[in-house]
């Protein structure tokens, strides 16, 4: 959605390395924002984004308008059951309807062989992979590793909303995930114990409020009681007016579907 950072550029570079042509879409999609969310204030700097995309090796940048994507009379949306009702979907009703609709439209407008998404938006990658499989869209979804700041905070366009104090405390997401991974490496497989450890770290950051702290199956998004390599720890935290998400697989991260 623009306001490009190193995480976005890493996806472009992966495409450039693996594909003959790379097309980048930049579009702040209104249908994935709720009524009280930050659509009007979401950072927009298209000229800078275009320079960054060109520098990363993109061959073409597609920057549609709302009138192109949702012309008068537009009435068709992509709905998905189950996977979109939990985690971000439970907190943001209608969000994934907008995500799936715009991704489906983009893949029809630019019929790519591969499409690149970041692991940081874990649930988004799961629901998009399911849509592609269910609707038989002929594209390979490549899920690439989360790109982080030196202190572990996952890169996000929304990070620029954070004040200095909020930015310092935002590292609680990554620290919580690393603690769960550390305890799992020492032999702890009880999801409840690992979840409490993560919740404790978030609670120690006075400016942070946990929206959810879960350990789920990487394919079904269902909560697990025992942690295996199929499990993924997911955390969402409100810091000030900013909603931040992060995740960490307990086993190897699947990067293709």
Which residues have a catalytic role annotated? 8
Q: Are strands 208-217 and 140-144 parallel, antiparallel or unpaired?
A: unpaired
Q: Is 60 helix (H, G, I), strand (E, B) or coil?
A: strand
Of 11, 251, 252, nearest to 121 by C-alpha is 11
Q: Which tokens hold the place of 87?
A: 């985690």
Of 218, 175, 226, nearest to 197 by C-alpha is 175
**Where do runs of H (alpha helix) occur along 36-155?**
46-55, 66-69, 88-91, 95-109, 122-134
């Amino acid at each position: 959605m623009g306001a490009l950072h190193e995480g976005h550029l890493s996806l472009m570079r992966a495409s450039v390395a693996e594909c003959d042509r790379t097309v980048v879409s930049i579009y702040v999609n209104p249908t994935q924002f709720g009524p009280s969310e930050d659509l009007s204030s979401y950072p927009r700097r298209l000229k800078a984004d275009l320079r960054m995309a060109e520098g990363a090796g993109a061959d073409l940048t597609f920057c549609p308008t709302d009138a192109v994507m949702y012309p008068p009379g537009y009435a068709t949306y992509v709905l998905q059951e189950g996977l979109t009702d939990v985690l971000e979907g439970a907190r943001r009703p209608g969000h994934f309807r907008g995500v799936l609709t715009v991704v489906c439209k983009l893949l029809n407008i630019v019929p790519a062989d591969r499409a690149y998404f970041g692991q940081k938006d874990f649930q988004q990658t799961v629901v998009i992979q399911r849509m592609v499989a269910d609707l038989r869209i002929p594209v390979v979804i490549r899920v690439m590793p989360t790109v982080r700041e030196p202190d572990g905070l996952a890169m996000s366009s929304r990070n620029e909303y954070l004040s200095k104090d909020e930015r310092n405390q935002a590292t609680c997401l990554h620290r919580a995930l690393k603690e769960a991974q550390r305890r799992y490496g020492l032999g702890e497989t009880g999801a409840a114990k690992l979840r409490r450890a993560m919740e404790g770290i978030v609670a120690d950051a006075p400016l942070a409020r946990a929206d959810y702290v879960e350990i789920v199956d990487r394919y079904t998004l269902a909560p697990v009681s025992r942690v295996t390599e199929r499990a993924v720890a997911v955390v969402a935290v409100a810091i000030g007016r900013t909603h931040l998400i992060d995740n960490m697989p307990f086993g190897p991260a699947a990067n293709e579907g």
